[in-house]
Structure 1
Amino acid sequence: MPAREAGEVFGPRMTLFADVLSVGLATAVACLPLLTAPAALSTACAVLRGAREDRPATAGRYFVLLRRRLRTGDFVVGALAAAGVLLLAADLALARAGLPGGSAFAVIAACIGACAMVTGLRACARPESLTDWRTALRRAGRDCVGDLGGSGLVLLAVATAALCAWMLVPLAFLAPGPLALALTAVDVRRDVEFIP
């Protein structure tokens, strides 16, 4: 880790922390239309992945990349993600309504929803998501099965982000940055560990 340069107040670790928070805030703003949420998170992961190669991880670079990459496929993926969340919420509401077998169905629906969420989040972390969502989703599905530890880490990252947002609501606007960093770290660690 490089040492502080003359006149630098904070070291490189604090700079990365500040960059993650600024990218998180930019991602929260970009997610507000909801249909742009997958593209926004994917762009955040790409910006943070670039920090390994000494590219700036700033909100300005984030918005430049997001504007350059938004295309019809990103909105389709956003619409599918929103439809999946609504379908899961409707299924869980019906299960709570007292239907026979509702509690077993709720558990199954929650497991399917968690698997779909992990696959979608891992797809956002894949570099292919910038240009080809199908390839990113296919490879993310393979990663979920082949790297159960990484999938567990993604679930823990989501739970941590949700807990932070629940405990202090203003943190919800910063949570996408650490979440994107966690997703990127899970994806990058596969390259480092040489997991088949």
Structure 2
Amino acid sequence: MSRTRTAQTREPGEVFGPGMTLFADMLSVGLATAAACLPLLTAPAALSTACAVLRGAREDQPATAGRYFALLRRRLRPGDLLAGAVAVAGLLLLAADLALAGAGLPGAPLFAATAAVIGACAMVIALRACARPESLTAWPAALREAAQDAVRDVGGSALVLLAVATAAVCAWMLVPLAFLAPGPLALALTAVDVRRAGGSGRKFGLSGG
């Protein structure tokens, strides 16, 4: 009879527990994701693939950079590149709006606050869409489900914002950490999605001990 491996057990000869193994795998996937995001248009597909790879750890699938690139090669369809183009256009539009707000125009503070709120909401929906399994095949369906999740699961949306803020602060404090940030961010997005679906952090090896 097979023995189910839990977050508290170790295989013979294993120095660290599976939680530390997942942490190391997350960092390698994060580096692979950072490299895959460099063309910018590939960023949504790259982050979505990272979430899919980390989600597979729940079924004991390898969460490695090799599996990441193998899965990513089957993607980058026109729909994935279109999603990247829309994301880049949205970021440029938000940056332009904030720049105009900072030019001293009448009503600039209110306009800047409104643009920031809209941008934050759009970012949460986009990031939650990356964590949805539907993003592997159909972005419209992933965005639709993510928008509903953002409304129904306000706590999860707050966790997404906290994860983004943490990643941004770490990258700002030490620039090389920016290349590792996609890994923890993808893990946080996946954990939020699993949490929404009624999953357990223990299945991701996130429990203490």
TM-score w.r.t. the length of structure 2 is 0.91
Cα distance in structure 1, aligned partners of 2:97 and 2:21:
43
Paired residues, what number? 193
Give the structure with the higher percent helix: 1
Match of 1:9 in 2: 15
Write out per-residue CA displacement over residues 91-126 of structure 1, whole angstroms, 9 at most, x where no aligned residue: 000010010001100000000000000000000000
Match of 1:165 in 2: 171
Structure 2 alignment gaps of length 5 or more: 1-6, 200-209
Question: Does residue 70 of the first structure (1) align with residue 86 of the second (2)?
Answer: no
Q: Alignment partner of 1:105: what SS?
A: helix
Match of 2:185 in 1: 179
Aligned-pair CA distance for 1:3: 1.8
Alignment of 1:21-170 (within 5 A): 21-170=27-176
Give the superposed CA RMSD.
Answer: 0.8
The amino acid that maps onto 1:128 is E
Cα distance in structure 2, aligned partners of 1:102 and 1:123:
31
The amino acid that maps onto 2:118 is I
Match of 2:204 in 1: none
Match of 1:189 in 2: 195
Write out per-residue CA displacement over residues 112-161 of structure 1, whole angstroms, 9 at most, x where no aligned residue: 00000000000000000000000000000000011100000000000000
Cα distance in structure 1, aligned partners of 2:144 and 2:80:
16
Aligned-pair CA distance for 1:181: 0.2
Cα distance in structure 1, aligned partners of 2:91 and 2:153:
24
| Deviates further, 3-12 or 135-144 | 3-12
Q: Alignment partner of 1:192: what SS?
A: coil
Cα distance in structure 2, aligned partners of 1:148 and 1:74:
27
**Structure 1 segments (4+ residues) deviating >2 Å:** none
Identity %, equivalent residues: 80
Write out per-residue CA displacement over residues 60-114 of structure 1, whole angstroms, 9 at most, x where no aligned residue: 0000000012200000000000000000000000010010001100000000000
